[in-house]
Structure 1
Amino acid sequence: MSTDLFIKGMTYGWNSSRGSYRQPYAKESLQELRATGSEWIALSFYTFQNNVYSTEIPFDYGYTMTDRDIEHAVKEAKALGLKVCLKPVVNSKDGIWRAHIGFPEESGAEPYWDEWFRSYGNFLSHYAELAEELGCEMFCVGCEMVKTEAKHEHWIRLIERIRGIYSGPIVYNANHGSEERIKWFDHVDLIGTSAYYPVANKPGDSEEAMIANWLPVREKMASLHAKFGKPIIFMEIGCRSALGCATMPWDFTHTELPVSEGEQANFYSSVLKAFWDAPWFAGFFWWDWSVKLYDKEEAHLNVGFDIYGKKAEQVLKAWYAKPAREGLIGEEIEA
């Protein structure tokens, strides 16, 4: 895939109840998302397996998005001129992070891996078929499934299976810090990662300090591109508008932290400046944009990942209004 691709994207659809994509507020939310200058959405939804050791991934009509939901969201997005990366995700009902889905590496574990990849392959194939039918411009085959990533041959066979169904580009979403351990990135079209790197040294840190901490990340991503020859994309990137969240951008639990629109805005600005012009970099899917937005007048009270009505939204709008690869990169952050 050409590294000329540059995605001005946003994640949409996460943690929404079945049927919510088809509500009037969802259409209004997509319109506001488009107004940021975003050109893509990662339509991200999930189902559950019972626990991290389960080998079956069921469909539960009670909470899993239906094909009607997904079709509606894709068509609404396309009507606004947005391109779509379909991103189905498997979580664990026991509350353990999906990175731990897998089986002990000991004698007798392989049949369990075979069974899990069979079920996961069926799960993905269903949505790959849907992505093909709906004309989705990209398909994500996995998100932060760290423990599974060592199963090299299983992943190669899985990706080959998906390519027999879906004709567009395929991406895998690694987790920050685990990218360099994956050996099968040559089988996808884009290397994705959840770039929740802790770039602030302290709560309320400056943009300059964050840029300095992005530089080694940039070097690591450049090396990853050089190794596999694939564009790098931040499939997830962002932090909450709460004091200290740039020291732990992945955090969604510490809701007691005070509001800090400035820290969130500095996080956005710093990574945009650090990566925008890298010729091997394919763009961003920011985390995330809610299907049902809060009232704009309440943005200054919100401590979530959303940027609607916040300082970070203005930062992103300014950058997304620029042509790709013509950002304001200072000499101090040139590769």
Structure 2
Amino acid sequence: KTHTMQGPVTAVQSMRSDQRRGIMCRMFEYLFSEVARRHAESNSVQYTCKCSYLEIYKEQIADLLEPTSTNLQVREDVNRGVYVERLSEHSVWTVEDAFHVLRKGLHQRHVGATQMNDFSSRSHSVFTLALEATSTTAGGVTATRVARLNLIDLAGSERQSFDPHNPTMHNSVQVKESGAINKSLSALTNVIMSLSSAGQRRRSVSSGAGTARAIAAAGAGTENAVGSVGAADGRRRPFVRYRDSKLTFLLRDSLGGNSKTVIVACISPSALCFGETLSTLKFAARAKRIQCAAVMNEEYSGTVESLRLEVKSLKQQLELLGSKGLLPAAAAGASPAPPAPGE
């Protein structure tokens, strides 16, 4: 999964020269090349890009770009939606800046050796790019379009074999890590199941311009840690338990909100991994049934001021025409007489 998202470490270090670079590196290249192309076509639109990088390790959120910022809290606001309090944002202007931020965060991630991987990710990571496009019309109206790109690398769950003759293993760091990973992946699968059940009953959804996208690499074993979920009543919308995990709460908008989401499911062709492969495919099949309604995030400012200027200009034109006798007195500024009672 991590290889799919970022490629080998050498690909991140050498930036664009390595053909094995992953989705994140290629996304940086596409995004900034597209911004440069559009900026060359028209200077009327100004682009700003900020990024953040966090990991969820044992149900605690840490800022990978500020090592001292640990145990951050997920908040919800009417205007901002779901966000991480005190999470740092860094401005990036070029693809090289984005690569530099990515490399800095990768050095802070929790990795460890497991039975399936010598450098296994022991945490979930979320790299967010926030892009703003601001344009101003001739009338003084400023339009701002906001889009967020979430690049997510999920840790994979793995079965732990317990040795009854070695009681210290039950309290080992790896067992605690696996327990936290399985808990969050279980919550994620439960959310996917609830959303897919709702998607089956809601087939006609108007399509809109996608403004927030999320790419997640879902690993083998995400289905194994799932508890039973009751069948949703067909006459009512199932309750989606986003708050069961910080991962699902943080990704609420990406999973069932104003977004377009792509999930990469990683499987193995080996017969030894048949169970893991089957559960991962079931997870992906459920995720395909989720329906999101994406709309454009656009805000306008300066509208009131521009209207005031327009009203002032129209009044001046009316006064000029009235002074030349080209308009009746009412149009020139006199108020019409009120109607008589009974009329």
TM over 0.5: no
- TM tier relative to shorter chain: under 0.3
TM-score of the superposition, structure 2-length normalised? 0.25
Which one scores higher on RCO, CA 8 angstroms, separation ≥ 6? 1
Report the TM-score when normalising by structure 1: 0.26
Decide which structure has the larger Cα Rg and report it: 2
